[in-house]
């Protein structure tokens, strides 16, 4: 029976970013109506991680808004990781904190982080259309540094932001060249405050992306349908799993609501899938 891996996200520092990514409600430039806060309380993070584990999450991602890590932020994420590992134990901890150097990544690894998420977002060619405050090459370098310090790499992108099919192929090729352990595929979720007003992706295109990603990444990797799943695949989740996806995000996303974990678990059971209980893939 095919296993589906569940991952949950905690936005531990939200909505205070100075960058200009045109898809992101956490940029202060676009005044999106989201909750904004700095440094969520560590006890609250541990309690939320415990709940995610009870809901079946194997992976738990600690996300901070902002271009990248600084000394204060790296220490905070390390503290959160230590506390979760101490209180809860065997959750696979993922940090998602933007641009990071090798020293910072090694520090996170020493303090309990298992994996680092840094998405390439879109193709190298299209990137300047969605962000002008930092370069695609910087994102790619952080991904390479993640691997060089021995952290597992989680890297994917967002589809439906106005890019062409060539851009989509180019993004998938770039992701595959990094050979990440897991790849989140996000499908753009429009927000009226953001400069990108509409989503240029339909269900059949999203399925083709999943199929292609699976072929490029190989059978033994995690391929996750993350943000935008509810907009494209509601009640059609079997299509995305048949196309090659084997992981989903449960609970809420960074600034948008997801399905209730209990609904997703019922959906998986009704489709005949087993919920994975260990972080290694068995059958795709």
Q: Which stretch binds ligand SF4 (CB under 6 A): 4-12, 15-23, 149-157, 234-242?
A: 15-23
Q: Does 21 bind ligand SF4 (CB under 6 A)?
A: yes
Q: Does 17 bind ligand SF4 (CB under 6 A)?
A: yes
d(CA 58, CA 55): 9
Is residue 183 within 8 A of residue 222, CB to CB? The reply is yes
Q: Which stretch binds ligand SF4 (CB under 6 A): 23-31, 194-202, 227-235, 243-251?
A: 23-31
C-beta closer to ligand SF4: residue 13 or 268? 13
* Paired residues of 9 in beta bridges: 61
Indicate the DSSP class of residue 106.
H
Q: How many CB atoms lie within 10 A of CB 170?
A: 18
C-beta closer to ligand SF4: residue 27 or 104? 27
- φ and ψ at residue 165, rounded to 5 degrees: -65, -30
Taking CB under 6 A as the criterion, the residue among 4, 6, 7, 65 binding ligand SF4 is: 65
C-beta closer to ligand SF4: residue 26 or 182? 26
Considering the complex, what minimum distance in angstroms separates the CB of residue 205 from ligand SF4?
Answer: 23
C-beta closer to ligand SF4: residue 24 or 146? 24
Taking CB under 6 A as the criterion, the residue among 26, 104, 123, 174 binding ligand SF4 is: 26
Q: Does 27 bind ligand SF4 (CB under 6 A)?
A: yes
Candidates 121, 130, 176; CA nearest to 153 is: 176
Q: Please report, for residues 33, 172, 223, 238, the alpha-carbon distance to residue 247 in angstroms, rounded to integers and kept in the order given.
A: 29, 17, 6, 12
Helix (H, G, I), strand (E, B) or coil at 220: coil
Indicate the DSSP class of residue 273.
P
Q: One symbol per residue from 67 to 106: x for binding ligand SF4 (CB under 6 A), - otherwise; what is it?
A: x------------------------------x--------
**For residue 35, what are its two tokens?**
């909750």
Q: Does 228 bind ligand SF4 (CB under 6 A)?
A: no
Q: How many CB atoms lie within 10 A of CB 27?
A: 23
**Residues contributing to the site for ligand SF4 (CB under 6 A):** 17, 19, 21, 24, 26-27, 65-67, 98
């Amino acid at each position: 029976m095919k296993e589906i891996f569940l991952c949950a996200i905690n936005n531990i520092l939200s909505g205070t970013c100075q960058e200009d990514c045109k898809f992101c409600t956490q940029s202060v430039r676009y005044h999106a109506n989201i909750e904004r806060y700095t440094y969520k309380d560590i006890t609250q993070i541990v309690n939320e991680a415990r709940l995610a584990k009870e809901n079946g999450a194997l992976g738990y991602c600690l996300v901070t808004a902002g271009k990248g890590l600084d000394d204060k932020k790296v220490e905070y994420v390390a503290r959160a990781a230590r506390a979760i590992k101490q209180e809860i134990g065997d959750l696979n901890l993922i940090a998602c904190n933007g641009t990071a150097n090798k020293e910072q990544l090694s520090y996170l690894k020493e303090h309990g982080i298992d994996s680092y998420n840094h998405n390439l977002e879109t193709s190298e060619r299209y990137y300047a259309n969605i962000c002008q405050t930092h370069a695609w090459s910087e994102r790619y370098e952080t991904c390479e540094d993640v691997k060089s310090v021995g952290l597992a790499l989680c890297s994917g992108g967002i589809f439906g932001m106005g890019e062409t099919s060539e851009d989509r192929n180019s993004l998938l090729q770039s992701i595959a060249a990094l050979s990440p352990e897991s790849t989140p595929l996000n499908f753009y979720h429009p927000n009226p405050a953001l400069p990108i007003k509409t989503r240029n992706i339909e269900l059949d295109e999203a399925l083709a992306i999943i199929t292609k990603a699976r072929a490029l990444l190989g059978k033994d990797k995690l391929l996750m349908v993350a943000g935008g799943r509810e907009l494209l695949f509601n009640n059609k989740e079997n299509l995305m799993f048949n196309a090659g996806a084997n992981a989903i995000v449960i609970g809420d996303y960074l600034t948008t609501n997801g399905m209730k974990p209990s609904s997703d678990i019922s959906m998986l059971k009704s489709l005949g899938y087993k919920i994975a209980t260990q972080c290694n893939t068995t059958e795709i």
